[in-house]
Amino acid sequence: MKNLAHKPFILYCRLSAPVALNHPWLHLDGILTHLLRLEAQERAYYTMPAKIPQPAPNREAFEILKLYHNAVFHASISFFSEPNRIYSAQYFKRFEERNCPAKRKINIASGHYRHWMLRSVVIAADHCYFYGCGDIDRIARVLQHLVALGDNTRIGWGTVHSWHIERIPNDRSLVYQGKAMRPIPVRLLEWYSEAIELAWRPPYWAAENIELCAPPEAEVKLIEPIYRRAR
């Protein structure tokens, strides 16, 4: 049954810092699933196993966004206002004496206080935006928990200055102008110009969610839902 609360929208996120990426793009459905779990579990969320996929926090995680063929969320990847401003940033984790244990010597070659030279791929953009189709009012409430986007947010990357949602006339979250707007499994496509093994649903780091997909920007044609073909 069609959910009348599902409306197409664009989400704008104004950024205060470059976004660190460990993947070519971010996923709106992954962000919303993360925020729903954080809302439901609060501080207990941070005690969960980091590398073991967990079930959705509640059924709302499957209803907040429209689903295509009961499989793929109507949620695009990230698009940046300056997509070509990508560079490698080098930074350091160094020992700070303040509030450290009262010892005459601190081992900075190994262990907890070890010095690290770190490097991230970052994109410097004024804002990031996503397309989706879902319950806009509920999504807006969930986004109250959004403080940053991307990787290594704990050190300031991807800080979100502000965000807002705008209703748009047409759904651009799956396919727009004949091109995929997110990874889509080829089993759900009638035709595609390119295919690659990609994760296509949250959590995107889980190996079991990898499947042969048309990547974003590939030319595609969706298989029409059965109820449409029966008309």
Q: DSSP string of 122-180?
A: EE--SEEEEEEEEEHHHHHHHGGG--B-SB-GGGTTTBEEEEEEEE-SS--SSEETTEE
Backbone Cα Rg of the chain:
20
For the chain, how far is it from start to end, CA to CA, in angstroms? 16
In this structure, of 18-27, 59-68, 185-194, the range with the lowest mean pLDDT score is 59-68
Could you report the per-residue pLDDT of 150-206, keeping only the tens digit for each?
988 888 899 999 999 999 999 999 999 999 999 999 999 999 999 999 999 998 999
Q: What percent of the chain has pLDDT over 90?
A: 55
In this structure, of 2-16, 43-57, 173-187, the range with the lowest mean pLDDT score is 43-57
In this structure, of 41-50, 89-98, 183-192, the range with the lowest mean pLDDT score is 89-98
Q: What percent of the chain has pLDDT over 70?
A: 74
* pTM listed for this prediction: 0.82
Q: Would you tell me how many other CB atoms lie within 10 Å of the CB of residue 139? A: 21
Q: What is the mean pLDDT of the chain?
A: 85
The yes-or-no verdict on residue 19 having pLDDT over 50 is yes
Domain ranges of the chain: 6-229
Bridge-partner residues for 222, per DSSP? 189
Non-local (6+) Cβ contacts of 215 within 8 A are 180, 183, 194, 195, 196, 198
The yes-or-no verdict on residue 230 having pLDDT over 60 is no
Could you report the per-residue pLDDT of 101-138, keeping only the tens digit for each?
666 676 665 666 666 556 778 899 999 999 999 999 99
